C-alpha cells in the first residue's frame, strides 16, 4: 500500500509540474512572445481598453485608430479614415487617433494627410495590439466590440461601416 501511495504521489507531483510548465508556456506565447508575420496581436471582444484621460462614457461608441508615422499601410488607409470621419455623426461616434509616436509627430502626420484630430500618444501594446494600422471599436465602458488589423480590403472596409451602423460608400 505504501508503494502505491509513493507512486501516486510521484505521478501527481510530476503532473503538477508538467501542467505548470504548459500553462507558463501558453501564457508566454500569448502575451509576451514576439509574433511572426501575419500573426499580429489583436484585442478580443470584451477586452477593456484604458487610455489615460479618455472617458468612454462621453461617447456612445469610440473608434480607436492605431497609427504610426512611416507606416505604409497607415498612409494607404487615410482615404478610408477620412470617409469614416465624414460619414459619422460626431455625437454617436468618437474617432481617436493614437500611436506610439509623440503627440506633435502624430498631429503633423495626420494634418499632412488632411485629418484634423487631437491624437494621443500611447504604447500600442497597452491597447492589446501589435501592428499598425489597427482599428478598435469600443463601447461606452471601453470594452472592445470588434477590431480590424492592417490594410483593409473594400469588403473589410464595408464591415467596419456596417459595425458602425453606417452605409458603406463603396457599396453605393
25-36: pLDDT as tens digits: 666 655 554 445
6 and 75 inside one domain: no
Q: What is the pTM of this model?
A: 0.74
Question: What pLDDT is stored for residue 41 in this prediction?
Answer: 81
Question: What pLDDT is stored for residue 33 in this prediction?
Answer: 46
With a pLDDT cut of 70, the percent of the chain lying above it is 88
28 and 62 inside one domain: no
- Read out DSSP for 90-147? TTTEEEEEEESS-HHHHHHHHHHTT-----EE--GGGGT--SSSEEEEE-TTSBEEEE
Residue 91 is assigned to a structural domain of this protein: yes
Domain hosting residue 162, numbered range: 56-171
Q: What is the mean pLDDT of residues 123-133?
A: 87
Question: What pLDDT is stored for residue 31 in this prediction?
Answer: 54
* 122 in Cβ contact with 98 (< 8 Å): yes
Residue 159 or residue 4, greater confidence = 159
Helix (H) or strand (E) holding 7: helix 2-31
21 and 70 inside one domain: no
Q: What is the mean pLDDT of the chain?
A: 86
144 and 103 inside one domain: yes
24 and 81 inside one domain: no
Residue 61 is assigned to a structural domain of this protein: yes
Total domains present in the chain? 2
What is the per-residue pLDDT across 39-94, written as a single tens digit (0 to 9) for each? 678 889 999 999 999 999 999 999 999 999 999 999 999 999 999 999 988 888 99
Q: What is the mean pLDDT of residues 123-129?
A: 85
133 and 60 inside one domain: yes
Amino acid at each position: 500500500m505504501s508503494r502505491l501511495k509513493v507512486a501516486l504521489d510521484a505521478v501527481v507531483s510530476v503532473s503538477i509540474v508538467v501542467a505548470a510548465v504548459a500553462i507558463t508556456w501558453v501564457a508566454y506565447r500569448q502575451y509576451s512572445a514576439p509574433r511572426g508575420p501575419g500573426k499580429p496581436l489583436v484585442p478580443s471582444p470584451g477586452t477593456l481598453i484604458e487610455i489615460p484621460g479618455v472617458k468612454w462614457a462621453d461617447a456612445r461608441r469610440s473608434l480607436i485608430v492605431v497609427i504610426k508615422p512611416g507606416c505604409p499601410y497607415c498612409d494607404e488607409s487615410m482615404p478610408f479614415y477620412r470617409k469614416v470621419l465624414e460619414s459619422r455623426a460626431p455625437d454617436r461616434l468618437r474617432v481617436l487617433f493614437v500611436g506610439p509616436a509623440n503627440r506633435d509627430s502624430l498631429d503633423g502626420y495626420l494634418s499632412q494627410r488632411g485629418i484634423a484630430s487631437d491624437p494621443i500618444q500611447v504604447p500600442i501594446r497597452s491597447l492589446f495590439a501589435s501592428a499598425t494600422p489597427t482599428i478598435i471599436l469600443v463601447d461606452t465602458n471601453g470594452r472592445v466590440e470588434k477590431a480590424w488589423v492592417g490594410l483593409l480590403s473594400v469588403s473589410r472596409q464595408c464591415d467596419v461601416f456596417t459595425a458602425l451602423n453606417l452605409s458603406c460608400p463603396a457599396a453605393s
